[in-house]
């Protein structure tokens, strides 16, 4: 099965990386210069992986950080960070300059995040272990990422359907997380909300809930460099601006700004 990887540009340049990795027959991803696909097995067991030259990550899950567009010097919060794919991706885009707070409610999952931070050699990530719904008020974040815990219906790893009750419970959590994230955002800041699930309850309705409770929240129209669909919630105000897409997994994504 094909996997996708992202170069660790903090550790190695693209030219040298491609020379070293030539035995894995990498195919470039045209819309993301740092990403490649490969059918090779055991990339994760290679010397280059242990040297921290790349990170294995699904293509779909690379998109939220591209939409967030973190830059060197930004103060970024990743509210549900473990195992760390997006936090480390942020740090790379920021050239390891600025602040990335990688938060996760699970202490055990923070360990996995820590191992990736170490292997990739990142010094600008601070890890925290708060319930995101109660993340403490600090100096406002210019950028926030909420890749929310969800029913993962769009994930290739998902094998079991969820009950309606479970989805309602997740939607309640997601709404609460998004409200808290928005309140932590600096004026004119950007918050990207994403899930790897397909239910309207966990996607469009979560965004609608935010808009109904925060007058200064605005959903920005998104354009992605590959095929995508608009929202399916039945609310044209939201549907026209959010995106649903499927690369290797099905994702939902919304970009929100604070007026």
Partner 1 sequence: MDEDKFAVYLKSRFGIMLSEEFGIEEKTSKVYVYSKDLEKLGLRWVHRRGLLAGKLNTLFGIKPSLDFTLVFGHLAQKNCAVISDEEVAQIFAGEDMVLKDSSTCEDGLVMLKNVKGMGVAVALNKGGTLQSLVQKDRQIAKEQVF
- Residues designated as active site: 196
**68 is a site residue for partner 1 (CB under 8 A):** no
Which of the stretches 29-37, 107-115, 195-203, 213-221 binds partner 1 when contact is defined by CB under 8 A? 107-115
Which of the stretches 90-98, 143-151, 168-176, 183-191 binds partner 1 when contact is defined by CB under 8 A? 90-98
Which of the stretches 57-65, 110-118, 149-157, 209-217 binds partner 1 when contact is defined by CB under 8 A? 110-118
**128 is a site residue for partner 1 (CB under 8 A):** yes
User: Which class for 160: exposed (0-12), middle (13-18), buried (19 or more C-beta within 10 A)?
Assistant: exposed
**What secondary structure letter does DSSP report for 168?**
H
Q: Which of 14, 25, 33, 138 binds partner 1 (CB under 8 A)?
A: 138
- Report in angstroms how near the CB of residue 38 gets to partner 1 at its nearest: 16
Closest CB to partner 1 among 113 and 206? 113
Using an 8 Å Cβ cutoff, are 38 and 5 in contact?
yes
- Report in angstroms how near the CB of residue 106 gets to partner 1 at its nearest: 11
What mask of x and - would describe binding to partner 1 in positions 28 to 67, judged by CB under 8 A? -----------------xxx--xxx---------------
- Report in angstroms how near the CB of residue 32 gets to partner 1 at its nearest: 24
Sorted by sequence, the CB contacts under 8 Å of residue 93 that are 6+ apart come out as 65, 69, 70, 71
**27 is a site residue for partner 1 (CB under 8 A):** no
- Report in angstroms how near the CB of residue 136 gets to partner 1 at its nearest: 7
Closest CB to partner 1 among 82 and 222? 82
User: Which class for 259: exposed (0-12), middle (13-18), buried (19 or more C-beta within 10 A)?
Assistant: exposed
* Helix, strand and coil percent figures for the chain, each rounded to 5: 35, 25, 40
- Report in angstroms how near the CB of residue 139 gets to partner 1 at its nearest: 6
Q: How many residues of this chain bind partner 1 (CB under 8 A)?
A: 33
Using an 8 Å Cβ cutoff, are 245 and 224 in contact?
yes
Sorted by sequence, the CB contacts under 8 Å of residue 34 that are 6+ apart come out as 6, 7, 9, 92
Rounded CA-CA distance 160/142 in Å is 37
- Report in angstroms how near the CB of residue 20 gets to partner 1 at its nearest: 9
**18 is a site residue for partner 1 (CB under 8 A):** no
Using an 8 Å Cβ cutoff, are 202 and 183 in contact?
no
**119 is a site residue for partner 1 (CB under 8 A):** yes
Rounded CA-CA distance 214/157 in Å is 34
Rounded CA-CA distance 195/61 in Å is 9
**Interaction site with partner 1 (CB under 8 A):** 11, 45-47, 50-52, 73, 75, 96-99, 101, 107, 110, 114, 117-119, 121-130, 136, 138-139
């Amino acid at each position: 099965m094909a996997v996708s990887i992202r170069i660790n540009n903090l550790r190695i340049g693209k030219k040298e990386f491609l020379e070293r990795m030539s035995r894995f027959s990498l195919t470039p991803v045209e819309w993301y210069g740092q990403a490649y696909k490969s059918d090779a097995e055991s990339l994760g067991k290679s010397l280059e992986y242990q040297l921290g030259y790349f990170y294995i990550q699904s293509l779909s899950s690379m998109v939220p950080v591209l939409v967030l567009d973190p830059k060197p010097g930004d103060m970024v919060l990743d509210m549900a960070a473990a195992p760390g794919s997006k936090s480390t991706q942020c740090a790379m885009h920021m050239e390891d300059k600025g602040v990335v707070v990688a938060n996760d409610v699970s202490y055990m999952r923070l360990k996995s995040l820590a191992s990736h931070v170490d292997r990739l050699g990142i010094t600008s990530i601070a890890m925290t272990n708060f319930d995101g719904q109660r993340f403490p008020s600090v100096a406002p974040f210019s950028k926030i990422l909420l890749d929310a815990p969800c029913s993962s219906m769009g994930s290739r790893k998902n094998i079991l359907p969820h009950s309606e009750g479970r989805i309602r419970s997740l939607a309640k959590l997601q709404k609460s997380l998004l409200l808290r994230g928005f309140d932590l955002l600096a004026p004119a800041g950007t918050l990207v909300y994403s899930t790897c699930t397909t239910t309207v309850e966990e996607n469009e309705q979560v965004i609608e809930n935010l808009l109904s409770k925060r007058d200064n929240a605005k959903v920005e129209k998104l354009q992605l460099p590959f095929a995508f669909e608009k929202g399916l919630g039945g609310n044209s105000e939201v549907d026209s601006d959010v995106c649903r897409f499927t690369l290797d997994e099905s994702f939902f994504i919304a970009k929100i700004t604070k007026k």
